[in-house]
Structure 1
Amino acid sequence: MSHYGTNQVSPRHTASQMFQQRLPEIYQTLPAARDTRRDAWAAVLPRRWRGAIRFGLSTALAVSDLVAILVTAYLVEAIYYEFAFDQQIATGMTGSFQLAGLVAVFVLLTNVVRDEYSIETQLTRGLHRRRMASLWLAAWGIVLVVGFATKTTTDFSRAVAIGFFLTGLPALYLSRLVIVGLVRRTMTSGSPSISRIHLVGFEEDIASFHANNDAQALNLRVIGTSYLRRVDPREDASVRQAQMSEDLDLAVSVVRFLRPDDVFILVPWTDAADIERCVDAFLRVPAALHLRPGSVMDRFPDLKLARVGRLSGINIGRRPLTFSEIALKRGLDVVLSAIALVLLAPLLASIALLIKLDSPGPVFFRQRRYGFNQQAFGVFKFRSMKTEQNAVFRQATRNDSRITRIGAILRRTNLDELPQLINVLMGEMSLVGPRPHALAHDRSFERRIALYARRHNVMPGITGWAQVNGLRGETLTDLDMERRVNHDLHYIDNWSVWLDIQIMIQTIASRRAYRNAR
């Protein structure tokens, strides 16, 4: 790869050399045989039916959703009639098809508007369970509103409607899982429907792109590269401008010939003038134009342009929870924790009695921990260790001699955490969230683990995503805590009511939730 200087090479020779370097290697070593050469050109030039293939794959996704909805509704109604009336449903437009049709119209139209069926969406996001669940609930909300407005709710069997509501979403998941799997298998590096991109930038930026990105893993094909030449900073501004104009004119010519889907400008954002010239040049070609400021883009996969008032900016992260989400989560916490305290009152009283009989000391153990926004509070737990005067905090370890007989049972079964239901009612904790750590641990890990303090952007919880995945108990190394923190951050970034309910169920029923409990 040559590094271009200034005036030692004739413009004609420079242009020819740049053209050769802008083309993929396959162009520079074209075979002599005519048929083989034709195949080589076909590998990088757009296929005639490429658009139709991509449209067909997107249509297949939409059709799979439609079929999943209609078939599920029909099967639910057929099973209901078979067991309830011992007869088969009549052929034709049944009530289930009418209900499913209304749900399907809303689901499909919304997904089309959100570009959910595009190839890029499926390759990057795949199954987005939260979005699918939200859309399913919204569709049924529309069904209820339409049924109430038209007074047709009595036309449909309640048993069929409930059965369809409960089974339709899993059927959509399964159908999408199969189709997306097929799409991903067809989108190989040799697939005619894969995205074809052209890179533009200085030599070191393009080299960095190739070093940090595997085009095949990204489901992309780099069909061309245009290198921009660096100019000696001592040169006059007019020389730099003339050279940049020459480079960009040649690059635009190559892009017009290759007809890529997307052009990526890899010029650093600090070179604002060069970016402006690149943008002006490539807005003249029929390809999507992208600016890529570097590795910062890879840290935030959900970047989007946002406006605050009349100010525009690139949004790299939203608030952990919106006001409505906070209200919904708080309502769920209050209702469930109050019910749990009433139902578990006999169990709590029995545990308290056993603790008093087992060893001297208080029933409850209260320790200062950081909560939301790093505000300290006292967390309640059943005492599981022997009482020690003026003891320095030390994390419990396996076979710790300080743990009492009852305490060992409480820790293995997670029952020592039940008094934190009081913290939930007091608004200091949530049922689900990152587990709060002792103050000494927080200060220590915050200095050593990146983004550790981000755990405090939401309310701490009695249980959490890390705990139901077996990441609890003693943290012997920073790597142990990093795994726990990564799971907590995943929970913050993907919160939903359904995720909270899933974690609550797994806390009780999953064997992994009891792993490392001691």
Structure 2
Amino acid sequence: MSELSHTKATFDELRSRRNKGFPFAVRASGGVEFAFWLQWVVATVVQCSVLIFLGIGKLDGDLASHYRLLALFSSLLAIPVFALFRAYSIRNGYLVGVARVLASWGTLIALLMFIAFATKTSDTYSREVVLQWILIGFAFQALAFVPLHKVLRRMDRLHRFANASVIVGCGDLALTLAVKLRHERGEAMIGLVCLDGDQPDNERPHTPYFPTLGVVSQLRSVISENSVSRVYIALPARETDQIEGLYVDLLDANVDVVWVPDFANLKLLNHSIHNLGGLPAINLNESPLTSYPGGAFLKSLMDRALALIGLLVLSPLMLCVAASIKLTSPGPVLFRQKRHGWNGHIIEVLKFRSMRVHDDSHARQAKKDDPRVTPVGRFLRRSSIDELPQLFNVLKGDMSLVGPRPHAVAHNDYYSDKIIAYMARHRIKPGITGLAQISGCRGETETIDKMQKRVELDLDYINHWSLWLDIKILIKTPLTLVSKDIY
């Protein structure tokens, strides 16, 4: 118990500092919101100051009304954009935080340019002022972000560490939760409290980091002796009576009570909790495109803009590829195949034809040294150039740049009853590239295990989807284009 004593001494020291007036500005409740709005206010002051300074300098002391309007629009539009990218999250490291600020600022500038183009007001702004504002504005925002982010992270860490918490439960869920709270959230998790009669004293799990402090009947004394401020209940759903009894018993104990339901046996998809008319509603399965409509709109906007740019830039290459296919083997240039899209709707996916014309009724995957693949097609498949026509699918709205790869309908029919939650991968638009592809799960899936791994990565992408994740996958994709597993 020496480590526990040392931890308690640290808690006491931090509490004494707090009681003496230590500035714990980041609260457990609302700390994320406070950090965001503080960073936003600072960033707004910085970027508006830069714009005003540059505008006045260019216009000899008189700031035109359209520059004031630009400052107002950029400030307000920054709220949803920076929130979407989680640019000001205190969970970010410094480099990741600056990168997210850069991505947010770039997206904000792109939206402002689109608005200026659509309203035909771009000519009213000095290109010199706007370009300097973009570069200097980001530089100053980054310089202001780093020290403020450091202070907020330290305040958050001290606050979390100064408030001890315990977990009621000694099962796998409790241990997993303890690790997450200690290492991912930095909370002062001092130990576990088991159910009465759960295990004999000498068989209860006990680790140096998460010691067993007692049983439920001793919970009051555990809270008092260790100055616990938060109790997590990590019990199976079958223990409803025990959970209700704990809740009622702790109502007057002056502690926060958090119930972490055990859904270990359920395959959750983008799960979340909402307030539904005063009732807690747990979403077990929800598409990111419906739960984050603002993010879905920006994802679609980014997809179609980049697809259009890609088609314009790559059109000479695509014309050369089309000519080489036509000259080297009889048949159409494009291969069209029915595949499942968002929510299971059938879409027609386009690819450059890389095989000789054959009966495709069984939708057999290409294998190593597959005789159906043409010499030109082999190069196209190895370099993934055969996927370029799917930019038209993205432009049409059937696909996204990033998402689970669409499989042939015959493959889906085969795997849907062999892999749990296989069809759940269609809860988001299919993509040209995806998390599975940059993680090495490309090419033939000749075994159930290989397809299972790909599905797990697809579901992991859906559960953690964000615009920032899409950008990271797009950046990493060129590094994985040449793979020995592609036939």
Instruction: Identify the range of structure 1 (173-182 vs 436-445) with the bigger mean alpha-carbon deviation.
Output: 173-182
Amino acid at match of 1:48: S
Amino acid at match of 1:217: H
Residue in 1 aligned with 2:232? 264
Residue in 2 aligned with 1:216? 182
Residue in 2 aligned with 1:363? 333
Give the Å deviation of 1:301: 8.5
Question: 2: distance between equivalents of 1:374 and 1:102?
Answer: 39
Find out whether 1:133 has 2:100 as its counterpart: no
CA-atom RMSD in angstroms: 5.6
Residue in 2 aligned with 1:305? 274
Residue in 1 aligned with 2:379? 409
Q: Of the candidates 315, 322, 329, which is equivalent to residue 283 of structure 2?
A: 315
Alignment of 1:435-514 (within 5 A): 435-467=405-437, 471-475=441-445, 480-493=450-463, 495=465, 510-514=478-482
Amino acid at match of 1:511: L
Deviations 1:253-310 (A, max 9, x none): 5424533221223454433333333222212122211122235499678632331x67
Task: Answer whether contact 1:66 1:108 (CA < 8 A) is retained.
Answer: no
Amino acid at match of 1:387: V
> Taking structure 1 as reference, are residues 324 and 255 closer, same or farther at Cα in structure 2, changes over 3 Å only?
closer
Q: Of the candidates 355, 367, 372, which is equivalent to residue 397 of structure 1?
A: 367
Question: 1: distance between equivalents of 2:140 and 2:450?
Answer: 37
Task: Give the alignment's TM-score, normalised by structure 1.
Answer: 0.62
Find out whether 1:290 has 2:258 as its counterpart: yes
Residue in 1 aligned with 2:220? 252
Task: Answer whether contact 2:168 2:216 (CA < 8 A) is retained.
Answer: no
> Taking structure 1 as reference, are residues 281 and 76 closer, same or farther at Cα in structure 2, changes over 3 Å only?
same
Structure of higher CA gyration radius: 1
How many residue pairs get aligned? The number is 441
Question: 1: distance between equivalents of 2:123 and 2:398?
Answer: 46
SS in 2 for 1:278: helix
Find out whether 1:279 has 2:247 as its counterpart: yes
Give the Å deviation of 1:381: 2.2
Find out whether 1:434 has 2:404 as its counterpart: yes
Task: Answer whether contact 1:470 1:514 (CA < 8 A) is retained.
Answer: no
SS in 1 for 2:327: helix
Deviations 1:215-270 (A, max 9, x none): 63242323465555359xxxxxxxxxxxxxxx978633542453322122345443
Question: 2: distance between equivalents of 1:78 and 1:458?
Answer: 45
Question: 2: distance between equivalents of 1:382 and 1:414?
Answer: 10
> Taking structure 1 as reference, are residues 328 and 213 closer, same or farther at Cα in structure 2, changes over 3 Å only?
closer
SS in 2 for 1:361: coil
Question: 1: distance between equivalents of 2:243 and 2:254?
Answer: 18
Task: Give the alignment's TM-score, normalised by structure 2.
Answer: 0.65
> Taking structure 1 as reference, are residues 273 and 461 closer, same or farther at Cα in structure 2, changes over 3 Å only?
closer
Deviations 1:457-506 (A, max 9, x none): 22323344444566433345555545543443354345566766776676
SS in 2 for 1:270: helix
Task: Answer whether contact 1:73 1:96 (CA < 8 A) is retained.
Answer: no
> Taking structure 1 as reference, are residues 176 and 440 closer, same or farther at Cα in structure 2, changes over 3 Å only?
farther
Give the Å deviation of 1:358: 1.0
> Taking structure 1 as reference, are residues 162 and 264 closer, same or farther at Cα in structure 2, changes over 3 Å only?
same
Task: Answer whether contact 1:61 1:176 (CA < 8 A) is retained.
Answer: no
> Taking structure 1 as reference, are residues 259 and 492 closer, same or farther at Cα in structure 2, changes over 3 Å only?
same
Task: Answer whether contact 1:433 1:460 (CA < 8 A) is retained.
Answer: yes
Identity of aligned residues (%): 31
Residue in 2 aligned with 1:42? 9
Instruction: Identify the range of structure 1 (381-390 vs 126-135) with the bigger mean alpha-carbon deviation.
Output: 126-135
Task: Answer whether contact 1:248 1:281 (CA < 8 A) is retained.
Answer: no
Deviations 1:399-421 (A, max 9, x none): 44432222123223433223335
Amino acid at match of 1:194: F
Unaligned residue ranges in structure 1 (runs of 5+): 1-24, 31-38, 232-246
Deviations 1:165-209 (A, max 9, x none): 566568657865776678768988xx675153443646x55x862
> Taking structure 1 as reference, are residues 319 and 356 closer, same or farther at Cα in structure 2, changes over 3 Å only?
closer
> Taking structure 1 as reference, are residues 111 and 358 closer, same or farther at Cα in structure 2, changes over 3 Å only?
closer
Question: 2: distance between equivalents of 1:109 and 1:336?
Answer: 21
Task: Answer whether contact 1:432 1:503 (CA < 8 A) is retained.
Answer: yes
Residue in 2 aligned with 1:21? none
> Taking structure 1 as reference, are residues 274 and 472 closer, same or farther at Cα in structure 2, changes over 3 Å only?
closer
Deviations 1:290-337 (A, max 9, x none): 122235499678632331x67642234543313666666667766776
Question: 2: distance between equivalents of 1:195 and 1:267?
Answer: 25
Task: Answer whether contact 2:326 2:333 (CA < 8 A) is retained.
Answer: yes
Task: Answer whether contact 1:133 1:169 (CA < 8 A) is retained.
Answer: no
Task: Answer whether contact 2:337 2:350 (CA < 8 A) is retained.
Answer: yes
> Taking structure 1 as reference, are residues 409 and 26 closer, same or farther at Cα in structure 2, changes over 3 Å only?
closer
Residue in 2 aligned with 1:381? 351
Find out whether 1:196 has 2:167 as its counterpart: no
Give the Å deviation of 1:163: 4.2
